[in-house]
């Protein structure tokens, strides 16, 4: 479980591709110990299991299912990844509960610069997820806890403040880039039990 408040990023230093999976190494200033091997880490919003840590490099295995649902299928060396350790008891929660179970990806259709903030317009191609796009609902984009500002059919907008841009990889997004999307867990459960 995570809260989508990002203080750290990492850089992909190597990618080893297998037939149905990949192994990635990420260099980061975020500190990990050998005792944390096996624990969950949010990497661009995807819950991955830490399999190795050495010096400032951490290693993760990415399965076929994760590749199918996330933007890791287009992962490149030197790409910047948002990182968040899982919540610990007593930690302040100032974002919203996220699981790292990414639902789908969205593509960036438009970026509007408003003072030092950004308004980003996204498109979700898969129709089955559009019903969960609700104005003022929480949403996780690349692991960042954000609020949906507006909804237009299969498109939605978010506003990103300067502090969030500074701390995350959202500041390097471009038109047509793919981002990982985790929809609000509560909206999914409520919808499931209402129908």
Q: Mind listing the pLDDT tens digit for each residue in 7-47?
A: 999 999 999 999 999 999 999 999 999 999 999 999 999 99
Query: According to the model, what pLDDT value does residue 20 have?
Result: 92
Q: How many helices (H) and strands (E) does the chain have?
A: 3, 12
pLDDT at 90 over 80: no
The helix, strand and coil proportions of the chain, stated in percent and rounded to the nearest 5, come to 20, 45, 35
pLDDT band, very low/low/confident/very high, at 126 (cuts 50, 70, 90): confident
Which residues touch 146 (CB under 8 Å, ≥6 apart)? 4, 138, 139, 140, 158, 160, 164
pLDDT at res. 175:
97
Q: According to the model, what pLDDT value does residue 97 have? A: 84
Residue 47, exposed/middle/buried by CB under 10 A (0-12, 13-18, 19+)?
A: buried
> What's the mean pLDDT in 144-162?
94
> What is the mean pLDDT of the segment spanning 117-129?
93
Domains of the chain in sequence order: 8-85 (2.40.30.20), 104-194 (2.40.30.20)
Report pLDDT for 124. Answer: 92
Q: What is the pLDDT at residue 191?
A: 72
């Amino acid at each position: 479980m995570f809260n989508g408040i990002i203080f750290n990023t990492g850089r992909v230093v190597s990618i080893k591709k297998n037939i149905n999976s990949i192994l990635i190494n990420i260099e980061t200033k975020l500190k990990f110990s050998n005792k944390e091997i096996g624990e969950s880490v949010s990497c661009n919003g995807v819950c991955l299991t830490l399999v190795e840590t050495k010096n400032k490099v951490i290693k993760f295995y990415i399965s076929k299912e994760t590749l199918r649902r996330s933007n890791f299928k287009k992962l490149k060396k030197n790409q910047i990844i948002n990182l968040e350790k899982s919540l610990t008891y007593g930690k302040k929660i100032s974002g919203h509960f996220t699981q790292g179970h990414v639902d789908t990806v969205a593509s960036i259709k438009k970026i509007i610069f408003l003072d030092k903030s950004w308004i980003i317009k996204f498109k979700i191609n898969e129709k089955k997820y559009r019903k969960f796009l609700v104005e003022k609902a929480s949403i996780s984009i690349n692991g960042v806890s954000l609020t949906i500002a507006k909804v237009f059919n299969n498109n939605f907008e978010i506003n990103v403040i300067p502090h969030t841009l500074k701390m995350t990889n959202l500041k390097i997004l471009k038109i047509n880039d793919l981002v990982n999307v985790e929809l609000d867990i509560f909206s999914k459960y409520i919808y499931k039990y209402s129908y």
